[in-house]
Amino acid sequence: MTEQRQANWAEEAVREHAEDVHDHELAQYPSGVEHPSREQQVLDRIEKARARKPKVKEERITLAHGAGGKATQSLVEAIFLDSFRNPLLEPLEDAAIVTANGTSLAFTTDSYVVSPLFFPGGDIGDLAVNGTVNDLAVSGAKPMHLSAGFILEEGFPVADLRRIVASMAAAAAAAGVTIVTGDTKVVQRGKADGCYINTAGVGVREPGCELGVATARPGDAVLVSGPVGEHGMTIMLARGELDIEAELESDTASMHELVAGLMKADVGVRAMRDATRGGVATILNEVAQAAGVAVVVNEDDVPVRAEVRGACELLGIDPLYVACEGRLVTIVDGAHTEEALAALRSHPLGAEAAVIGRIADDPPGLVLLNTGFGGTRIVDLLVGDPLPRIC
């Protein structure tokens, strides 16, 4: 027979969880004992394993660490949060809430590395402004000032840079923010993908504004402000590798007015999130985990454009995990569902807003989906980017 060896990583994983395996063996019931209780034991064991302190086991950073799913979560918690830990960072919301001279401010930062730099519906400049404005807006703040840092690759066409900067200026004007400080670095050819942008932003919050995904409670309603997944699918197709044509445009937009309208309507908003990387499913998992509630979503109520659905079916991807860049997910008091929907729909960006589900108490920490077919299933966090699959 051929030479044989062991997979060391796998043996280590088994050893590391040996205690759980041991528990499992203790729990072996004599035959004849009802299955559900045994199944429940296994499920508890999984929850225990999932609740363990996250660890980064990989020796090198892989693309999965940047995809917004479980790998990103482990990286942030095990490496960044572990070292920087402080009460302002710990909530890991879209923006930190800081106080200066008695004024409550939202403060956030984001880096933009999209490829291609120009795509149907926008470019990296639009994203760099809108993304940061949105992070401030969903934190309940009026966006005020942004910084802009550029990492440019040697040889990058100045005309392209002008185009990107013009988009940023237009997006900033539309969002009512000013870009007040910045930085430029140039790296050698091959060390960057043309142009990377980092923006940071500050905004002022209304006094007494209490928002956060941890405040969701049973009976609340879950809404999205429009069809999901357009940005992510547009980018995937714009890369050209898949040779798929579709009339799709990125949904990149600044949501500050949409959010302001919703807050003004006084509909008992508990939390708002900007559904970017990882899509709506990732946000809903954050809600379920932070608030210790169940999020129950109706598949048929989630708005998805026909072309996004077609591309998703073709590539074997679930639109719930595909990124948006101008879509709000919000949790509101269930008693005000209709008013919240009306408030969103009164703004052009929210014209196709929909109630997609509700918050329940059990099972805590999980997102459940009522499928269009009439069944039920779990919607979990993704391990990495949604990848095109053939099977």
Partner 1 sequence: MRFVDEYRDAEKARALSAKIAGLCEPGRQYKFMEVCGGHTHTIYKHGLEDYLPESVTLVHGPGCPVCVIPMGRVDDAIALAEQPDVIMTSFGDMMRVPGGRGSFFDSKAAGTDIRMVYSPLDALKVARQNPDKHVVFMAIGFETTAPSTAMTVLRAEAEGIENFSIFCNHVTIIPAIKAILDSPDLRLDGFIGPGHVSTVIGCRPYEFIASEHGKPLVTAGFEPLDILQSVYMLLVQLAEGRSEVENQYGRVVPWDGNQVALKAVGEVMELRPYFEWRGLGFISHSALRMREKFASFDAERHFDLPGVRVADPKACQCGEVLKGVLKPWECKVFGTACTPETPIGTCMVSSEGACAAYYNFGRFSRERVRQASRPEPVTIETGARRE
Partner 2 sequence: MCLGIPGEVIEIMPEQPDLAKVDVSGVKRAINIGLLTDDPPGPGDWVLIHVGFALSKIDEEEARAAMEFLEGIGQAYEDELEALLSSKIDEKG
Question: Which listed residue (26, 51, 159, 390) binds partner 1 by CB under 8 A?
Answer: 390
316 vs 364, beta carbon nearer partner 2: 316
Q: Cis link prior to 120 (omega < 30° from 0)?
A: no
Q: How far is the CB of 390 from partner 2 (least distance, A)?
A: 5
The span of 259-267, 276-284, 331-339, 357-365 binding partner 1 (CB under 8 A) equals 357-365
> Quick one: what does residue 99 bind among partner 2, partner 1, none, with the CB cut-off 5 to 8 Å set by partner type?
none
Q: How far is the CB of 322 from partner 1 (least distance, A)?
A: 14
| Distance from C-alpha of 161 to C-alpha of 159, rounded to nearest angstrom | 5
Please, which of residues 194-253 interact with partner 2 by CB under 8 A?
242-247
| Distance from C-alpha of 243 to C-alpha of 229, rounded to nearest angstrom | 19
Question: Which listed residue (192, 322, 329, 391) binds partner 1 by CB under 8 A?
Answer: 391
If one asks whether residue 35 binds partner 2 (CB under 8 A), the answer comes out as no
Question: Which listed residue (3, 34, 245, 247) binds partner 1 by CB under 8 A?
Answer: 3
Half-sphere exposure of 348 (CA within 13 A, CB side): 3
| Distance from C-alpha of 255 to C-alpha of 342, rounded to nearest angstrom | 16
159 vs 390, beta carbon nearer partner 2: 390
Q: How far is the CB of 235 from partner 1 (least distance, A)?
A: 14
> Quick one: what does residue 25 bind among partner 2, partner 1, none, with the CB cut-off 5 to 8 Å set by partner type?
partner 1
Q: How far is the CB of 389 from partner 2 (least distance, A)?
A: 6
Neighbouring C-beta atoms of residue 235, cutoff 10 Å: 21
Instruction: Return the bridge partners of 201, or none.
Output: 108, 146
Please, which of residues 17-76 interact with partner 1 by CB under 8 A?
17, 20-21, 24-25, 36, 38-40, 42-43, 45-46, 48-49, 57-58, 60-64, 70-71
Are 231 and 279 in contact, with CB atoms under 8 Å apart? no
> Quick one: what does residue 347 bind among partner 1, partner 2, none, with the CB cut-off 5 to 8 Å set by partner type?
none
91 vs 365, beta carbon nearer partner 1: 365
Question: Which listed residue (145, 309, 345, 347) binds partner 1 by CB under 8 A?
Answer: 309
326-335 per-residue burial string, b: 16 or more CB within 10 A, e: under 16: bbbbbbbbbe
10 vs 391, beta carbon nearer partner 2: 391
Please, which of residues 116-155 interact with partner 1 by CB under 8 A?
none
β-strands 294-298, 354-360: how paired?
A: antiparallel
| Distance from C-alpha of 271 to C-alpha of 347, rounded to nearest angstrom | 19
Instruction: Return the bridge partners of 185, or none.
Output: 151
Are 367 and 279 in contact, with CB atoms under 8 Å apart? no
Please, which of residues 214-273 interact with partner 1 by CB under 8 A?
241-243
Are 261 and 347 in contact, with CB atoms under 8 Å apart? yes
Q: Cis link prior to 36 (omega < 30° from 0)?
A: no
The span of 149-157, 168-176, 283-291, 376-384 binding partner 1 (CB under 8 A) equals 376-384
If one asks whether residue 391 binds partner 2 (CB under 8 A), the answer comes out as yes
**DSSP class per residue in 182-196:** EEEEEE-TTSSSSEE
Say what the alpha-carbon torsion angle 117, 120, 121, 127 is, to the nearest 10 degrees. -20
Q: Cis link prior to 143 (omega < 30° from 0)?
A: no
> Quick one: what does residue 62 bind among partner 1, partner 2, none, with the CB cut-off 5 to 8 Å set by partner type?
partner 1
Neighbouring C-beta atoms of residue 177, cutoff 10 Å: 24
> Quick one: what does residue 57 bind among partner 2, partner 1, none, with the CB cut-off 5 to 8 Å set by partner type?
partner 1
| Distance from C-alpha of 324 to C-alpha of 274, rounded to nearest angstrom | 8
Token reading at 242: 């898949």
Please, which of residues 277-316 interact with partner 2 by CB under 8 A?
306-307, 309-311, 313-314, 316
> Quick one: what does residue 246 bind among partner 1, partner 2, none, with the CB cut-off 5 to 8 Å set by partner type?
partner 2
> Quick one: what does residue 245 bind among partner 2, partner 1, none, with the CB cut-off 5 to 8 Å set by partner type?
partner 2
Token reading at 330: 């919000």
> Quick one: what does residue 34 bind among partner 2, partner 1, none, with the CB cut-off 5 to 8 Å set by partner type?
none
Which residues bind to partner 2, rule: CB under 8 A?
A: 242-247, 306-307, 309-311, 313-314, 316, 389-391
